[in-house]
Amino acid sequence: MRYAVPLVRGKLSLHFGHCQQFALIDTDREKGVILRKELVDPPAHEPGVLPAWLAEQGVSVVIAGGMGSRAQAAFQENRIETVIGVGEEDPEKAVLKCIEGTLAKGDNLCDH
């Protein structure tokens, strides 16, 4: 399964649409391990572009601090699960905790 984590300066971005890069992390969920991590630059941020682009990258789950409702709907249309309100800054730890079911989630840090 492939996860995408939006990053700013190597840490989880509090606002999905303002990230500098994405960590694309491939996992073996059954074994609970990370198989590969790749840092990629996203295309220009415009409504609907990132969900379609991440779907093309084979992403199944996006982990983010905050995300607007339109982006969440676009991910749903692309069959990508969103995990919102995450405070864990380390992308690899966030993914591993998500796999384990121990990832702490709070309020969506985006209000639009």
Q: What local confidence, expressed as pLDDT, does residue 34 receive?
A: 96
Q: Which of 1-5, 16-20, 61-65 has the lowest mean pLDDT?
A: 16-20
* Residue 68 in tokens: 């607007």
User: 59: closest CA among 38, 44, 45, 87?
Assistant: 38
> With the C-alpha atoms ordered 9, 11, 16, 22, is the resulting torsion angle positive or negative?
positive
Secondary structure percentages of the chain, helix, strand, coil, to 5: 25, 30, 40
Domains in the chain, number: 1
Mean pLDDT of the chain: 90
Residue 51 lies in a domain: yes
Residue 112 lies in a domain: no
Q: What local confidence, expressed as pLDDT, does residue 52 receive?
A: 93
Rounded to an integer, what distance in angstroms lies between the CA atom of residue 110 and that of residue 112? 6
Residue 11 lies in a domain: yes
For 82-99, the pLDDT digits (tens) are 999 998 999 999 999 999
User: 95: closest CA among 14, 37, 56, 51?
Assistant: 37
CATH number at residue 79: 3.30.420.130
Rounded to an integer, what distance in angstroms lies between the CA atom of residue 82 and that of residue 74? 10
Question: Which residues form the domain of 35?
Answer: 2-100
For 10-62, the pLDDT digits (tens) are 999 887 877 899 999 999 989 999 999 999 999 987 778 899 999 999 999 99
Residue 80 lies in a domain: yes
Q: What local confidence, expressed as pLDDT, does residue 54 receive?
A: 95
Quick check: 112 pLDDT over 60? no
Q: Do residues 16 and 23 touch, judged by C-beta distance below 8 A? A: no
Residue 13 lies in a domain: yes
Residue 105 lies in a domain: no
